Amino acid sequence: MTPEGRYLYVSPSYKTILGYEPEELLGKNVDRLVHPKDLRYLSEAIRQTIGQRQKLSRLEYRILHQNGQYRWLEALIKLLYQPNGGLLKVQLHSRDITGRKEMEERLRISMHEKDVLLKEIYHSVKNNMQIIVSLLNLQSNQIKDKSLYALFKESQNRIFSMALVHEMLYKSEDLSKIDFKEYLKKLIETLFDSYGVNQSGIGLDLDLESIVLDIDKAIPCGLIVQEIISNSLKYAFSPEWKDKPNVRVGLHRKEGNAHLTIGDNGTGIPEKINAKLPKSLGLNLVAILAEQLQAKIKLDKNEGTKFRIVFRMSK
């Protein structure tokens, strides 16, 4: 075709692709057949090819079939020049890729539908967990025994930590991963409120790097944080504690591993507890969750209590 877009020659194969006899198109402008949404893209692609004096350029666009429907073509642009360097004509070597484009569109729609369904699942799981938390809260209001009340509170916090993962996945663009930094900030804030820490003057130091975790790692890791911080808030600081009480949480990435540290400057875990982990329900759960994460966990009992947890991040 001419540099202006008029057909100079049409291959007989065009009839197989688009249903037109070659002579029907001779002298006509390609603009009449190209889909309106692709016309600017096609013109710009040809103009750039000419401007950069490229020998070949590839593009995809829709063109009108004789039956009134649009077909997708993949075209190879080839420029032919006059001996004096001026542009003589533009060749488009095309093939029909409609089947491939339709398959891509069906796949896109299918993926979108799966994303919507997954979002609804996360939303439903989160709502169901919140209902359980509310039921536990109603039931706990009738409990007079302080130790039993504390057990209900711990169960509420564990369920909340899992519900929060599903809530963040529901709101995330990537439905398989969450920003664990933002998760930790929300979880710790809720734990401090749950134990009435804002009134007790316990300080909080956060040193968190943005790290993305998938659901298989976020849930057990979140439960580990919940258990350790809950123990700090309940047991680390006696009424007679003279130093300013403080809880510290760090999260960093190093050589493909997540390094999570959780500690306090409280009274510390009794010496009779071994360095691996105590046998209490909460901290025994920490050991089980660390094993699930395939994490290395170390307990440091110098100057309070500090847990160091290292595990492989998601790829």
State pLDDT tens for residues 271-284. 655 545 545 556 78
What is the spatial distance between Cα 155 and Cα 160, in angstroms, rounded to a whole number? 9
**Average pLDDT for residues 264-292, to the nearest whole number?**
71
Between residues 310 and 131, the one the model is more confident about: 310
Q: Say if residues 202 and 247 touch (Cβ distance below 8 Å).
A: yes
Residues shown for the chain: 315
Mean pLDDT score of the chain, rounded to an integer?
A: 82
Q: What pLDDT, on a 0 to 100 scale, did the predictor assign at position 152?
A: 82
Q: What pLDDT, on a 0 to 100 scale, did the predictor assign at position 275?
A: 44
Residue 236 DSSP symbol: I
What is the spatial distance between Cα 122 and Cα 242, in angstroms, rounded to a whole number? 45
Q: What pLDDT, on a 0 to 100 scale, did the predictor assign at position 253?
A: 92
What is the spatial distance between Cα 71 and Cα 95, in angstroms, rounded to a whole number? 10
CA 132 to chain centre: 27
Partners of residue 298 on adjacent β-strands:
308
CB atoms within 10 A of CB 191: 21
**Average pLDDT for residues 129-149, to the nearest whole number?**
82
Residue 85 DSSP symbol: S
Q: How many helices (H) and strands (E) does the chain have?
A: 8, 10
What is the spatial distance between Cα 61 and Cα 73, in angstroms, rounded to a whole number? 6
Q: What pLDDT, on a 0 to 100 scale, did the predictor assign at position 241?
A: 67
**Average pLDDT for residues 35-55, to the nearest whole number?**
77
Q: How far is CA 116 from CA 120, 169, 172, in A?
A: 6, 12, 12
| pTM (two decimals) | 0.62
Q: What pLDDT, on a 0 to 100 scale, did the predictor assign at position 137?
A: 80
What is the spatial distance between Cα 301 and Cα 295, in angstroms, rounded to a whole number? 19
What digits encode the pLDDT tens for the residues 188-244?
988 888 877 765 678 889 999 999 998 889 899 999 999 899 888 888 787 666 678
Pairing of strands 257-264, 246-254: antiparallel
**Average pLDDT for residues 156-185, to the nearest whole number?**
85
Q: Say if residues 197 and 237 touch (Cβ distance below 8 Å).
A: no
